A = this chain, B = another copy of it.
Amino acid sequence: MSIVVVGSVAYDTIETTRGGVADTLGGSATYFAVASRFFTPVSIVAVVGSDFRPEDRQLLHERNIDLRGLEQRSGSTFRWRGRYHEDMNIRDTLDLKLNVFESFAPDLLPDLQRSDYLFLGNIAPDLQERVLEQVPSPKLVAADTMNHWIADTRADLLRLLPRLDILTLNDEEARLLSGEHNLVKAGRAVLKLGPKTVLVKRGEYGAIQFSQAGMFAVPAYPLEEVVDPTGAGDAFAGGLIGYLARSGKVDESRLRTGAVYGSVLASFVVEKFGLGRLVDLTWEEIDLRYRAFIDLIDSHHSRWISQ
């Protein structure tokens, strides 16, 4: 089953305590697609400017990502500049220029409207809804959101939530959306707003997935070196939704396995700046870390892998 992801394709300038990188290919749709393509075909629906580099288009194309929905317009590509603190869970946005993204109004090609799996990346909830209107019978709809939309377009977001199978957001956003400081109360309150599953991302502390079946807590894979957390949340979603689309069925067991694959993909992203680690990643590396991850969290230590 193929996936359509709608979101941003951007040029990021990133500083962390480990160094920096300028005008590197990024954006929520990009990270999601580059992660999920390991599991299933994926199509990006987004907009870029006339400055979008042919080699970046080529890079995505070579990784079997369908770019027919990547509109190119005159103007500049969305640009973000940010700096991470020593505690990489915290970052400051130093500059943000929406550019051509400001007037983004996604329209899906007819064959993409028949998609079964849909990921609505972090864009305005009314745009997410606009996309959803074009896809009459999806099998699964997942969406990401952020503090800005929660604070400024709450009504739009609340209208969208009951139509979602999965909502992903971070711990602060779950608190903001629910008004509950305690994370368990916050997760359960967001679940009551309509999504069937709520994935609360906690950066280096992993994630907690809330559903009717209960809670699933998954740690972040402990790494010796974290270089740049940009895109980790979208790569997590790419691993999760990619796995679900590949398996063609959604149940609690698959949602949990998917969250492990999400953690695995996110753990690779942070090892290098930008997309650096994801673009050359192999399925063998993913499989090896998946096994190491299962060993990491297996309380019975069944030792089905040797280390």
Contact = CB atoms under 8 A, between A and B. Distances in A.
A256 B183 contact: no
From A187, A202, A225, A297, residue with most partner B Cβ within 10 Å: A297
From A222, A225, A256, residue with most partner B Cβ within 10 Å: A222
Interface in A206-260: 206, 208, 213-219, 222-226, 252-253, 256-257, 259-260
A182 interface: yes
Interface string A266-307: 000000000000000000000000001011111111010001
- Copies of the protein in its oligomer: 2
Contacts of A226: 182
Contacts of A217: 206, 219, 222, 296-297
Contact of A296 (B182, B216, B257, B296): B216
A214 B184 contact: no
Contacts of A216: 296-299, 301
A214 B297 contact: no
A244 to B, nearest CB: 14
Contact of A182 (B182, B215, B224, B259): B224
Given A205-B205, A206-B219, A298 B213 contact: no
Contact of A225 (B182, B297, B300, B301): B182
A213 B297 contact: no
Interface residues of A, number: 38
Interface string A140-181: 000000000000000000000000000000000000000000
A300 B218 CA distance: 12
Nearest to A224: B184
Given A213-B307, A215-B296, A296-B217, A301 B222 contact: no
Contacts of A219: 206, 208, 217-219
A111 B295 CA distance: 40
Interface of A: 182-185, 187, 202, 205-206, 208, 213-219, 222-226, 252-253, 256-257, 259-260, 292, 294-301, 303, 307
14 contacts: A183-B222, A185-B224, A205-B205, A213-B301, A213-B307, A216-B296, A216-B297, A217-B219, A217-B222, A252-B301, A253-B301, A256-B299, A257-B300, A297-B297
Given A184-B222, A218-B297, A218-B299, 6 more contacts: A202-B205, A206-B219, A216-B299, A217-B296, A219-B219, A297-B297
Sorted nearest first, the 6 A-B pairs with minimum C-beta distance are A217-B219, A253-B301, A184-B222, A205-B205, A184-B224, A256-B301
